[in-house]
């Protein structure tokens, strides 16, 4: 009996040991995030010291391999935001409509086809979508708008819209699905029809989750690389048109994003050169944008849970 008793305590000690080991493994995620952040910052530092953060954020001349190099990334920042913002115009209403259909209208068998189909769309490699955009959409854009080539911001926006769609649908659908059934019943009981119930009761009740889905879609679009690299043309000129002297974004011109810049230049750049460090500055800027978007999304989602 005594030895059995002893054995039990040994089991408990083993259990505590396992708990500690599991904690250490789980903490690796924090370590990785810190490593990413640490590498971005320390590798950025030489370039920031030499060039200055302001030049990166505000300068418009990006010529890292010129004899008189320029490190202004403002056009790429502008390009990233322009494309990502443009890529919300279509998938937000479209995605919302799909989410409404799936959670409010679709018969079960249809839903069981639709959801896997969207999951499949989410898993399409971005390089394949880029390829489709390149050989199918770009020539079409060129013809329709009478352009020399179809590698434009618009082409990128359309392909990005398709990529952002599944993200927006799945989170918006979660949000709409978690609206209590009683809300709908109360609305019907007051004589509202299906449309009024959806638009005036369900959607407002799910607005935090819907907002979060839009923000995550935006974050995904800012971070997307291959599709834009392949279809957006990557020109360094500023894609704006002046209408009565007011500059407005021109989606029919080629655009270069932050992500594309790293992908284009990262392969050949000599390690340790100023250019190499400058690319880490671009990476840090990208990381900061997505980090802030994530934090905001978190905050919005948290508020949504608290509201419940």
User: What's the number of CA atoms in the CB half-sphere (13 Å) around residue 100?
Assistant: 19
The CB density around residue 56, as the number of other CB atoms within 10 Å, is 23
Shortest separation between residue 243's beta carbon and other proteins, angstroms: 32
- Using rule CB under 8 A, residue 233 touches other proteins: no
Q: What pairing do the DSSP bridges indicate for beta strands 62-63 and 70-71?
A: antiparallel
In the set 271, 306, 307, 308, which binds other proteins (CB under 8 A)? Answer: 271
- Contact (CB, 8 A) for 212 and 171: yes
Nearer to other proteins, 81 or 291 (CB): 291
Shortest separation between residue 147's beta carbon and other proteins, angstroms: 18
- Using rule CB under 8 A, residue 206 touches other proteins: no
In the set 3, 11, 66, 68, which binds other proteins (CB under 8 A)? Answer: 11
In the set 155, 187, 211, 225, which binds other proteins (CB under 8 A)? Answer: 225
Q: What pairing do the DSSP bridges indicate for beta strands 70-71 and 240-243?
A: unpaired
Nearer to other proteins, 11 or 68 (CB): 11
Nearer to other proteins, 9 or 242 (CB): 9
Looking only at residues 52 through 81 of this chain, which bind other proteins when binding is defined by CB under 8 A? Answer: none
The three-state DSSP-derived secondary structure of 164-225 is HHHHHHHHHHHHHHCCCHHHHHHHHHCCCCHHHHHHHHHHHHCHHHHHHHHHHHHHHHHHCC
In the set 86, 283, 300, 304, which binds other proteins (CB under 8 A)? Answer: 283
Looking only at residues 114 through 143 of this chain, which bind other proteins when binding is defined by CB under 8 A? Answer: 114, 116-121, 123-132, 134-136
In the set 29, 66, 68, 181, which binds other proteins (CB under 8 A)? Answer: 29
- Contact (CB, 8 A) for 68 and 81: no
For 43, residues 6+ apart whose C-beta sits below 8 A from its C-beta are 276, 277, 280
The CB density around residue 16, as the number of other CB atoms within 10 Å, is 10
- Using rule CB under 8 A, residue 298 touches other proteins: yes
Nearer to other proteins, 191 or 245 (CB): 191
| Binding pattern for the stretch 146-185 against other proteins, x by CB under 8 A and - elsewhere | ----------------x--x---x----------------
In the set 48, 226, 232, 278, which binds other proteins (CB under 8 A)? Answer: 226
In the set 46, 69, 177, 223, which binds other proteins (CB under 8 A)? Answer: 223
Shortest separation between residue 268's beta carbon and other proteins, angstroms: 11
Beta strands in the chain (DSSP E): 62-63, 70-71, 240-243, 246-249
Burial class (CB in 10 A: 0-12, 13-18, 19+), 20: exposed
Nearer to other proteins, 153 or 176 (CB): 176
Nearer to other proteins, 251 or 280 (CB): 280
Scanning the structure block, which residue is given the tokens 């989750």?
A: 209
Report the C-alpha gap between 86 and 161 in whole angstroms. Answer: 8
């Amino acid at each position: 009996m005594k030895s059995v008793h002893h054995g039990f305590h040994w089991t408990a000690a083993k259990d505590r040991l396992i708990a500690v080991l599991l904690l250490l493994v789980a903490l690796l995620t924090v370590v990785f995030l810190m490593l990413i952040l640490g590498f971005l910052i320390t590798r950025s530092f030489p370039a920031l010291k030499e060039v200055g953060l302001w030049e990166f954020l505000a300068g418009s001349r990006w010529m890292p391999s010129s004899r008189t190099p320029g490190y202004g990334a403002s056009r790429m920042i502008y390009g990233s935001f322009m494309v990502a913002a443009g890529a919300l115009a279509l998938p937000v209403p479209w995605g919302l409509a799909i989410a409404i259909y799936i959670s409010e209208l679709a018969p079960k068998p249809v839903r069981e086809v639709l959801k896997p189909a969207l999951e499949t769309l989410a898993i399409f490699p971005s390089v394949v979508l880029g390829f489709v955009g390149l050989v199918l959409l770009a020539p079409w854009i060129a013809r329709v708008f009478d352009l020399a080539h179809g590698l434009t911001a618009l082409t990128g926006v359309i392909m990005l819209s398709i990529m952002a769609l599944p993200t927006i649908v799945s989170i918006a659908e979660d949000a709409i699905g978690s609206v209590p059934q009683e809300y709908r019943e109360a609305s019907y009981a007051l004589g509202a029809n299906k449309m009024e119930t959806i638009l005036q009761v369900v959607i407002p009740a799910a607005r935090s989750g819907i907002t979060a889905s839009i923000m995550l879609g935006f974050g995904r679009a800012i971070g997307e690389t291959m599709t834009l690299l392949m279809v957006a043309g990557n020109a360094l000129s500023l894609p704006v048109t002046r209408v009565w002297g007011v500059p407005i974004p021109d989606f029919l011109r080629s655009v270069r994003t932050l992500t594309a810049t790293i992908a284009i230049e990262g392969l050949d750049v000599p390690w340790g050169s100023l250019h190499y460090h400058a690319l880490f500055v671009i990476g840090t800027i990208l990381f900061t944008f997505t980090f802030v978007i994530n934090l905001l999304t978190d905050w919005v989602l948290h508020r949504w849970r608290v509201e419940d």
